[in-house]
Amino acid sequence: MKKVLCAIMAGLAVLAAGPGYAATTTLEPVVVTATRTPRPISQVAASITVITADEIAATGATRLDEVLRDTVGLQVLSHGPAGALASPSIRGSAAAQVLVLLDGVRLNSAQNGQFNLSDLPVALGEIERIEVLRGPSAALYGSNALGGVIQIITHTPETEPLTRLSWREGRFESRNLSVSTSQKLDRFRYHLGAKLDRSDGFRENSDLEQHSFDGLLGFDLGAGYDLKVSANHLDKEIGVPGSTSFPSPQARQWDRNTQTSLSLTGPVGPLDMVARGIYGRQRSEYKDSAGWFPSHDIHILKTLGAELQAAAQNGPHSLLFGGDVYRDEIDSTTNGKKDQDRWSAFGQYEIKATPWVTLLLGLRYDAHADFDNETSPRAAALFSLSESTRVRVSAAKAFRAPTLNDRFWPDVGYAIGNPDLVPETAWEYELALDQRLNEMGDLSLTLFLRDAEDLIEWAQNGSGVWTPSNISEARIWGFEAGTKLRLHPLFATGANYTYLHPKNEKSDEFLDGKPRHQAHLYLDVGPVEGARLRLDGRYMYYYPETSREDKDHFVMDASLTRPFMLNKGLELEAEISVKNLFDEEYEESPGYPMPPRQLFVGITAYF
C-alpha cells in the first residue's frame, strides 16, 4: 500500500507540469528576515521559505519540529518523544549554526549555542508565519546564523476581539491545550496566551509535562511611534531516556525559561528606527543518580541585550544600519561562574540600478571580549528577467562563536573545555532561479556551496580526554528544488528536494548525520463540504555511518479538518490527524527511535 501511494503522489507531482486550472490570485508574501525590513518576497535576493498559519493548521502538527521538517534545505534531528531535544540543520549545518528568532528576539542559548525546537514558549495557533532563511543572507545576523535563520512571527492583535481555545488528545496519553485572547482598542493592544503539553511517552522514562505563558502590551504613541512590551515563560519537566545503546531510565530534566523585551519603533528624521531591550533567564537542571557517571547539574544563564536599527528609503536607494550589545552571565555547577561581553555593528546598502537589476552590499562587524573579532561581508544581485522569472546570485562570509560549554567545560577526568578556541567561519555562495508558472504556482532551483574552516570538534586528545579544538574544515555543496501548485480550486500539491554533499576536508569523510537525499511531497484536497484533507510524505536517504542502522526512511502524515460555524460569534474547527501513518520504524538521530503511529483528535474554538 505504501509503494502504491508513493507512486500515486509522484504521478500527481508530474501532472503538475501539465495544464491545470488557474488559481485565485493571492497577495504576495511580505518577509522581514532577509533584509531586516518588510519587503515583498519577489524583491529579495535570498532563499527564503514562508510557512503560513494556514499551512501550519493544515498539517495537524502539534510541535514546531513537525512544522519545519518538510521545509526545503532544512533537516530536523529529533531525539524522539514529545518534548525531547529537536535540533534544526540548514544545508548540512550544525544545530548551533542556525539562529532561531521569536518576533526578532534571539532564542539560542549562549551556553550550548542552539535552541531546542521543543521549547517554543508560544502555541502553534499563535503563529502568523515562519520565515526560514537559507544561505549567504543569514550573514546579516552574525553569530549562530552561519547556516541560516528561522524566524517565528506571531499574530498581531486586531480591532475585532479574538479568543482561541484549542484541545488535542492523542496516543500515549498525549494532550495539548492552549488558550489565547487578543484585541486592539484604539491606541492600546494586548495579547495573553497559555498552553499545556503533556505525554506519557512511548519509551520508558520519556514522559513530558510542559506549561508556558506569553503576553504582549502595545501602545500607539502617536506621530508614528509605537511601544511594545512582550514576555514569555516556559516551565518543563521531562524524562530523558537516553539512547538505545546507553539508556538512562532514571534521568530527569527541568527547564524554566523566561524572556522579556521592550521595543520602540518610529521615525527619526528620514529614518525608520527600531530600538529593543532584551532580558532572558534560563534555568536548567539535570539529574541522573543511576548513570555511568552520576550527575546533578544546575545551570542558570542570564542574557541582557540592547539592539538599534535604522532604515531609510530614497527612490531606488535603500539604507540599513544598526548594532547591538549583549552580556551573558552563567552560574553553573559545571561551567562555574563566567560572563562574556559582545557587540556588533552592521550596514547594508541596496540599489535598484535598473528596472530589472537590484544590487546589495552589506557588512557586519562583531566584537567579543575574549577572542578575535569577525568581519562578515555580503553581496547579492537580483535580476528580474521578466514579471515571472528571477535570477539571484549572492556570496557572504559568516561565523559562529564558541559557546560557554566549548570554552569552560570543567575538567571532569574524561572531558574538558578549551578557552583558546576561535570562531568558526564560512564563505557561502548561491545561484538561484525563481519561476512563476502563470497563476498555477511557482518553481525554484538553487545551487549552493559553503566552505567552512576552524570548525569546532570535540575529540579525544593524547591522554584520552575529550576536548574541543578548531581542527575541522568542511565543504558542503548541493542543490534545492521546490514547487507549489494549485491544479484545481479544490486541489493543490507541492514538492521539494534537496541534494547534499557534505565532506570533512581534513578526513575526506562525509559529515555524520547528514542526508544525501531529502524529499517532501504534499497533497491538499478541499474544501469539500467544508472538509480539507492533507497528506504529507517525506523521504530521507543518509550517508553511511557506523552509528546508523537504517540508511533511509519514508514517513507519511495525514490530517483532516472541518470548520463549523455555530453562530456569528462562534466558530469550531474539528481535526483528526495521523502521524507516521505507515508505522515506520526510523531514527532522525541515531540511537533515538521516533514515535510509532499516533492518532490525534482535537477541536479549536474561535470566539
312-370 tens-digit pLDDT: 999 999 999 999 999 999 999 988 999 999 999 999 999 999 999 999 999 999 999 88
Non-local CB neighbours of 259 within 8 Å, separated by 6+ positions:
102, 105, 107, 121, 231, 232, 233, 278, 279, 280, 281
Average pLDDT over residues 222-231: 97
Q: Kindly state the percentage of the chain with pLDDT values over 90.
A: 85
Strands 98-102 and 148-154: parallel
Q: Is 416 exposed, middle or buried (0-12, 13-18, 19+ CB in 10 A)?
A: middle
Average pLDDT over residues 11-34: 55
Average pLDDT over residues 59-82: 95
Q: What is the pLDDT of residue 294?
A: 86
Average pLDDT over residues 567-596: 95
CA distances from 172 to 244, 351, 575 (A): 19, 55, 18
The C-alpha cell 537559507 sits at: 134
Reported as a pLDDT band with limits 50, 70 and 90, residue 566 is: confident
pLDDT tens track for 137-180: 888 999 999 999 999 999 999 999 999 999 999 999 999 999 99
Average pLDDT over residues 178-200: 97
Q: Are 254 and 285 in contact (CB under 8 A)?
A: yes
The pairs formed by 405-409 with CB atoms below 8 angstroms and a separation of 24 or more are 405/111, 405/112, 405/113, 405/335, 406/113, 406/456, 406/468, 407/338, 407/370, 408/335, 408/336, 408/338, 409/334, 409/335
Reported as a pLDDT band with limits 50, 70 and 90, residue 26 is: low
pLDDT tens track for 413-464: 788 999 999 999 999 999 999 999 988 899 999 999 999 999 998 888 888 8
pLDDT tens track for 371-388: 889 999 999 999 999 999
Q: What is the pLDDT of residue 457?
A: 87
d(C-alpha 106, C-alpha 86), whole Å: 17
Q: Are 295 and 286 in contact (CB under 8 A)?
A: yes
Reported as a pLDDT band with limits 50, 70 and 90, residue 7 is: very low
Q: Is 548 exposed, middle or buried (0-12, 13-18, 19+ CB in 10 A)?
A: middle
Q: Is 92 exposed, middle or buried (0-12, 13-18, 19+ CB in 10 A)?
A: buried
The sign of the dihedral angle between the CA atoms of 143, 477, 501, 521 is positive
The C-alpha cell 545503546 sits at: 245
Non-local CB neighbours of 410 within 8 Å, separated by 6+ positions:
334, 335, 336, 416, 417
Average pLDDT over residues 300-304: 97
Q: What is the pLDDT of residue 547?
A: 84
Size of the chain, expressed as the number of residues it contains = 607
Nearest Cα neighbor of 415 from 476, 463, 454 is 463
Reported as a pLDDT band with limits 50, 70 and 90, residue 412 is: confident
Cell numbers for 375, please give them: 568581519
3-state secondary structure of 137: helix
Query: At residue 294, what is the residue type?
Result: P
- Side-chain-facing half-sphere of 396: CA atoms under 13 Å: 32
Mean pLDDT of the chain: 92
For residue 81, the domain's CATH number is: 2.40.170.20
d(C-alpha 32, C-alpha 44), whole Å: 10
Nearest Cα neighbor of 395 from 377, 369, 413, 409 is 377
* Cis upstream peptide for 468 (omega within 30°): no
Q: What is the pLDDT of residue 449?
A: 98
pLDDT higher than 60, residue 15: no
Non-local CB neighbours of 55 within 8 Å, separated by 6+ positions:
none
Q: What is the pLDDT of residue 18?
A: 36
The C-alpha cell 479574538 sits at: 162
Q: What is the pLDDT of residue 29?
A: 86
Q: Which tops the pLDDT comparison, 501 or 549?
A: 501
Cell numbers for 84, please give them: 525531547
Non-local CB neighbours of 18 within 8 Å, separated by 6+ positions:
none
Q: Are 189 and 183 in contact (CB under 8 A)?
A: yes
d(C-alpha 530, C-alpha 121), whole Å: 32
Average pLDDT over residues 184-207: 97
Please tell me the total count of domains within the chain: 1
Instruction: Give the domain range for residue 177.
Output: 2-606
Lowest-confidence range among 16-25, 526-535, 556-565?
16-25
